[in-house]
Amino acid sequence: MSRAAEIRDDPVALRAPRLCRFFTGVMERQMRRGFRAVRMLRPGLPDVSADAPLVVYSNHPGWWDPAFYIVLQGRVLRREGFGPMEADALERYGFMKRIGIFGVDPGSRAGAARFLRVGAHVLSDPRRCLWMTAQGRFADPRERPVELRPGLAHLMARVPGAVALPLALEYPFWSEKRPEALCHFGPPIARAADADAWQAALTEGLEAAQDRLAAAAMARDPAAFETVLGGRRGVGGLYGAWSRLRAATRGKSHDPDHLPDPPPASQR
């Protein structure tokens, strides 16, 4: 393979930090507009050694998942992020090659081999991390048992010292017009014996993280979460205008939420 071909095939060489920062800002604005808030279940991000190759893998409840990754990458994790995408889809959005996305064909042996090769290359530097929807398909977050494609387990078995961080995602409606974007990082997973052991550990870790997030989502307690991004509040339109007018005529400040978030613990 020529040097030019290697660069076209290498997401590390193609990644443009300035474009990544710009696209992070775009995704933050999108999630602020689309959700009441982006929230991370406490205690937040677990401790992971800065020297460990890291993969963040999640369930796949919806279209918003990659945008959620980008927000968490910029706000919480702060490593250089990369991720796989179906090659045919990536060709339609070529600019994504400049933000760390690389193409794979999940239905072929060559695609599986490319995923393992490129994934190991990304993880050769612990300043980077790999993000992926390990289910490989859209699935309801309460679906059990959790089923993961085997590629991630094989990758983890090939990278010495690699750590996998399970990430549960949900987008439930609580008391407001817009849904909540919720996430929970489970405990890190490391040092499985082989690909089969990794597969079992990865599945168990993600299912446990999803169960904990599901319980917190059903409890509807914002205080159990750290707010990563605040979103749009209120319902807008005629009802919103009426609420503002009613508050003004009563000499009160207008709160657009039905059930306002509690103040931070430091202010209680």
If pLDDT is split at 50, 70 and 90, which confidence band does 234 have? low
Structure confidence at residue 250 as a pLDDT band (50, 70, 90): low
Closest by CA to 17, choosing from 59, 80, 64, is 80
- Closest by CA position to 164, among listed 198, 207, 115, 122: 198
Report the distance separating Cα 115 and Cα 79, nearest Å: 20
Alpha carbon distance 184, 57 (integer Å): 12
pLDDT in tens, 62-80: 999 999 999 999 999 989 9
CA nearest neighbour of 142 among 62, 61, 196: 61
Q: What is the reported pLDDT for 252?
A: 59
